[in-house]
Amino acid sequence: MRVRRISTALGSAAALALALTACGTADVGGDGGGDGGEGNGGGDTITIGVKYDQPGLGLLEGSAPVGFDVDVATYIAGELGYSPDQIQWEEAASANREAFLQQGTVDMVVATYSITDERRQVVDFAGPYYVAQQDILTQADNTDINGPDDLADKTLCSASGSRSANNIVDSEDEGGLGIDAELREAGNYSECLELLGNGTVDAVTTDNTILAGFAAQNPDQYRVVNAPFGEEQYGVGLPAGSTERCEEVNAAITKMWEEGEATEFLEAAFGDTDFSYEENTPELGACA
């Protein structure tokens, strides 16, 4: 397994500048999900749900979101026959991703959307397009928390709709680490950062990609403890019954990695952070 580590000074301005040059400038929002057609440039659109509040992954900058997930979504849409100006972006928070797919608000979700058996009961997944690991973010001057075991008796924040905190506090029988931390749920990870900054919580836990983006924006205020554990497979969420579309998206993901585009997207998003990322094609799951 090959891992690329970039070890340079954290700099949010450079990271965001790179992301801006790498991402498309499609319209934000729209009139709901597209028609799911072939998108052959004849006026059809595709609506894709992404995050708007996660630096390096999906962050609204001006009139369009930018980041690794946005680049991946734009590439996949291109392979499906949609040009960047045929993409309509929709903000997909962790708590509404399943509902958006079930209600037809979006055609697909590319929003650090971890593939789980529970979610597979209601939506389909293509991918994964990336495999992240979970980590912990603390205030920069906090030297007491250096791994999951140090979270005992501490207050831990995670976003609504995310299972990251449960991976720490759930018992081992439930698939967690069984650590006795107090949970504080916020609407999204930006709110968690506010709570961390004012001392309401001691730490934030989620995928290392998400935490690296936040740390890059405020390197003097926050630090990633760099004690990764677990595994989060980022999938492309699709409406239930999308077997054919799933296969098309998997083909696009394979091509994206084989041609080196995925690595370029990662470099653009995280090249100015001390973040280790995979450079191998993830093992794709079968489309049901």
Of the CATH numbers 3.40.50.300, 3.30.930.10, 3.40.190.10, 2.60.40.10, which one belongs to the domain with range 132-230?
Answer: 3.40.190.10
Domain 3-131+232-278 and domain 132-230 have a common topology: yes
Query: Could you tell me the pLDDT band of residue 41, with boundaries at 50, 70 and 90?
Result: very low
Question: Do 163 and 98 contact (CB within 8 A), yes or no?
Answer: no
Mean pLDDT along residues 105-119: 94
User: Which pLDDT score is estimated for 277?
Assistant: 72
Per-residue pLDDT tens digits for 266-282: 988 887 776 777 777 89
Name the 3-class secondary structure at 165: helix
Q: What is the mean pLDDT of the chain?
A: 84
Q: Give the start-to-end residue ranges of the domains of the chain.
A: 3-131+232-278, 132-230
Count of all residues that appear for the chain in the document: 288
What pLDDT score was predicted for residue 248?
A: 97
At residue 130, does pLDDT exceed 80? yes
28 falls in which pLDDT band (50, 70, 90)?
A: low
In order of 148, 167, 172, the CA distances from 179 in angstroms are 8, 9, 9
Q: Which two tokens stand for residue 97?
A: 């991703």
Q: Is the dihedral of CA 76, 78, 81, 87 positive or negative?
A: positive
> At 231, is the pLDDT very low, low, confident or very high (cuts 50, 70, 90)?
confident
The predicted model gives 254-275 an average pLDDT of 88
For the segment 209-225, what is each residue's pLDDT rounded down to a tens digit? 889 888 888 888 999 89
Cα four-point dihedral sign 185, 188, 189, 193? negative
Of 46-55, 141-150, 167-176, the least confident: 167-176
Q: Which residues contact 108 (CB under 8 A, 6 or more apart)?
A: 46, 48, 49, 73, 76, 101, 236, 237, 238, 245, 249
Q: Is the pLDDT of residue 32 over 60?
A: no
Could you name the CATH architecture of 3-131+232-278?
A: 3-Layer(aba) Sandwich (3.40)
Per residue in 156-204, pLDDT (tens digit) is 998 887 878 888 888 788 778 889 999 898 988 889 999 999 999 999 9
Q: How far, in Å, CA of 125 to CA of 112, rounded?
A: 12
Distance CA 225, CA 231 (A): 16
pLDDT > 60? residue 73: yes
Nearest 5°: the CA angle 231, 54, 249 is 60
Q: Which one, of 5, 18, 83, lies nearest residue 45 by Cα?
A: 83
Give yes or no for residue 91 having a pLDDT over 60: yes
